[in-house]
Amino acid sequence: MNAIVQGAVVHWRDYLDLCKPRVVALIMFTAIVGMFLAVPGTVPMQAFVFGTLGIGMAAGSAAAAGAGAWPGAGSTRGRLPRQSGSRY
């Protein structure tokens, strides 16, 4: 399933890259740990499944929207070069 945008072929993998799956996985892991710590006993299965899916989809779409708001932000791999006078 490809789309053509202004002469360039766009694959679904490009959108997946914009969603930043490794960052979303960390967000979902943090949410799962929080669910287990918030409830005494076990987490209800329906709340666990739908809550985790919703958090993952919201985080992925926010990452893709953020990368679209700042062109080039989703395409860089690694860190930006450090400024000479920067502290961190």
Helix (H) or strand (E) holding 4: strand 3-5
Packing angle, helices 45-69 and 21-38, rounded to 10: 150
Going by C-beta distance under 8 Å and a sequence separation of 6 or more, which residues neighbour residue 1? Answer: 12
Question: Which residue ranges of the chain lie beneath pLDDT 50?
Answer: none
Which has the closest alpha carbon to 56: 26, 17, 77?
Answer: 26
**pTM value > 0.75:** no
